[in-house]
Each structure stands twice: as structure tokens, then as C-alpha cells.
Structure 1
């Protein structure tokens, strides 16, 4: 099996961080999204949406979406458990995964698409949409900062897939998208520094 990957993209990085935390080695093949290699006919056969990462199994089955790929490896290698053990922990991890996707990545994505010069060639940008996304991102930063009060990890008392997903998401938003958290978001800053210091952050 192998994983179609692109180094700086946040979604493939989620999988690499997760696998590193679990001690799993994988084969990777680069898909250069800047050259639109994800839009070739051959790659669209693997993922009709053209996105990465994609896990291709030995029988040719292709699994896309970063969390789905991580779930596959969690099922193959249950330890260390990163998706939760007790019912409450499983539910909180799932809750925060959805929150990171819906209330952080999605609004920041509006800024990326409608307010960043790197994506200006893709469509007619709408500055109002970008500002809406920026405001909603800061709204969620406030919620996230409060949730991290006195905590080392977001969804549990130990490292989970939430950290594997949230770190590259936050890195992408604060750098490439250009929506950094504010000085008063001290809990986010502390969490961000701790997660960035882990060996897996460089996977």
C-alpha cells in the first residue's frame, strides 16, 4: 500500500503526524498539487474529488480523507490508541474533530479562497466572503482558547488524533492563510508550542 501525499499541504500532514505517533512507517508518493497532478485522469480514478491524501491498498482500493485514512490504520494497529477508549473519550474526540473541521478549517478556507493572493487565479474572489471567514475563525479561536484552559490536550488527558488534525490545521491557517491567533489567546499559544515541539510535528 502507499499514500499519495504532498509535503506542505495540511491534510496529508495530518496523516503523517498520526502515523508517526503510532510508530507506523508508510510508503509515500508525491502528488504536486501546484502542478495540478491531482487533476489528471489517472489520479481522478483514485479520488474523483482530486484531493490528497489518498491511501491506495494493495488490492487497488483507494481511501481518501485524512481522518478516514487514520481510522483505517487505527483498526490495523489499535495501540497506541488515538481515537479514544472509553465511550466518553471517544465521543469527545469525535466532537473536537468535527469542530476543528467545521468551525476552524471551513471558515479559514473562505479566507484562503477569497482573500489570498495565492488562490486569486482560481476564481473571482469576494472580499466580503473572506472577511466573514476571518471573523468566524477568530470567533472559534476564542472558544478554543477557553477550552484549552488548564489542559495539555484538547479532547482527552492524553494525545489523540485531535492533536494530529489540529496542529497542521492551525499551522496552515496562521501562516499560509494569514489568520494568526491573537496575543490574548495564550492557551492556544501554549498548546501550539507544545505540539510543535513533538517529534511527530516534523513528520
Structure 2
């Protein structure tokens, strides 16, 4: 396996944390997004959407979504079971992970890409020019705040995002929270005690600390 990556970016970080939890270390090819290397013709020949990460399998197949990459890695190394050990757990984790992506990660990307000067004409991933829309930046900030409040409510009765055990949904949520707070210079809601406790607890995991 070969992983094309830029570990500082949120989507690659999700895969790196998953790999660390699994104890897997595939070959890595560093693609510097700060220098725009993911937008070059060379990388477009590898992945036409020009996004990271990309996992290249031994047969040449290339996977570009975090969900697909993590599912493949889980099949390679089933333990610990981060996608669920039973049909019920797998469905619950898939559901929560998707919820985090839709309500959290996409909100952060909306706010981040539509506000930073470095993303001028790149408000959406890829090489096609897409203008920034300031109103979307503000909407992204509001959505991220709502996401944190809703996630706090979910964590009030559970130790983890998809129940009582650590899963890929926690990885996606952690990366989303860290990226949103840093990238949009926001803070957790003052009354989000359960969210703060979860964040502190998950941030002490060896996979997170080493990353």
C-alpha cells in the first residue's frame, strides 16, 4: 500500500489517526498542499479530483474517500474494530460518522474555504476556479457552532460519539473540532461540558498524542 498524504490537512489526519490506532505504517508520499503540489498535472494523473489522502493498493486501485480507505484498512487489520464488531455497531458507527461529516466537517470546510485568502478562487476542492462567498463563510461558522452544541448533547449520556466505545466516528469528530476551532479561530460553547470532557479524554490517546 502507498498513501499520498499531507498530514496537516484534516482529511489526511483522519486516516493517519486510524492507521495509528491500527498500528499500520504503509509507504507514504508527501504531497505539499501549501505549495499547491496536489493541483499539479502530475498529481491530477494520480487522482483527478486533486484531493488528499489517496491510498494506492498493491493492485493499483486508488481509494480517495476517508470512509473507503478506513474500511479497507479495517479489513487488513480488523483489531481494534474501529468500524464496529457487530452489524448493529457497524450501522450505528456509520450513521454517527456520516452525521459528523455532514453537520461538522462540511460546515468547517464551508467556513474555512470561503474566508481564507489562501483559498481565493478555490472555495471548493479541485483545480476548477470557484469564487469565495463571504455569506457562506458566516454560515459555516454558525453551522459549526450548532454542530458543537448538538454533539455536546449526544455526549451527555455516552463516553464516545457512537456509543460507549472509541470508533472512527470519534476520529472524525476530533479532527473536525480541532480543525474548526483552529482554522476559524472559534471556541467551544461555554456550556458544552460533555464535549469538553470528551475532547480532553480522546486527545490523550497515544494515536492522537503522537500525531
TM-score bracket, normalised by the shorter chain, equals over 0.9
Q: CA RMSD in A?
A: 1.6
1:11 and 2:11 aligned: yes
3-state DSSP class of the match of 1:3?
strand
What is the deviation of 1:58?
2.3
Structure 2's unaligned 5+ residue stretches are 123-129
Verify the 8 A CA contact 2:108 2:141 in the aligned structure 1: yes
Which of 174, 181, 185 is residue 188 of structure 2 equivalent to? 181
Verify the 8 A CA contact 1:107 1:133 in the aligned structure 2: yes
**Deviation sequence 1:104-131 (CA, Å, 0-9, x none):** 1112211112223442464543222211
Normalised by the length of structure 1, the TM-score is: 0.93
Verify the 8 A CA contact 1:6 1:12 in the aligned structure 2: yes
2:17, 2:142 → 1: CA distance? 29
**Number of residue pairs the alignment of both structures matches:** 203
Moved more, 121-130 or 140-149: 121-130
Per chain length, whose mean CA-contact separation is higher, i.e. which structure has more relative contact order (CA < 8 Å, sep 6+)?
Answer: 1
Alignment of 1:119-198 (within 5 A): 119-120=119-120, 122=122, 124-198=131-205
Alignment of 1:41-52 (within 5 A): 41-52=41-52
Verify the 8 A CA contact 1:11 1:66 in the aligned structure 2: yes
Is the alpha carbon distance of 1:188 and 1:77 closer, same or farther for their aligned partners in structure 2, counting shifts above 3 Å? same
